[in-house]
Structure 1
Amino acid sequence: TKMLRHGEVHGKPLTSKQKGLFGLLAGGGKPTRLKKKRDRRLESR
């Protein structure tokens, strides 16, 4: 949440997509796109 308030990481500003993702994660949400990619990796093992 500090990243969202500050608005930058390593001196570079966050994009609106990054802010949305970090906001979702900070609020306890689950990003569905990332879950699908992770599931595909597990299937290939």
Structure 2
Amino acid sequence: MWSEVDMVRALSIVLLKKMIKKYSWAEVILDNLYIDEVTEELIKTIEWE
């Protein structure tokens, strides 16, 4: 199962992706983040629901 840290990290990334349209700094942050496989899987799960 996912840890709380993984969940918070994934939720933060999903929110940043949604903020790109309004704030240009969100894209800069996303470009500089390392997203591991666990976080990527969790992001897909969150975005799907």
TM-score range, shorter chain: 0.3 to 0.5
**Larger relative contact order (Cα-Cα within 8 Å, sequence gap ≥ 6):** 2
Please state which structure has a larger fraction of its residues in strand: 1
TM-score, normalised by the number of residues in structure 2: 0.36
Q: Which structure has the greater CA radius of gyration? A: 1
Whichever structure has more helix as a proportion of its residues is: 2
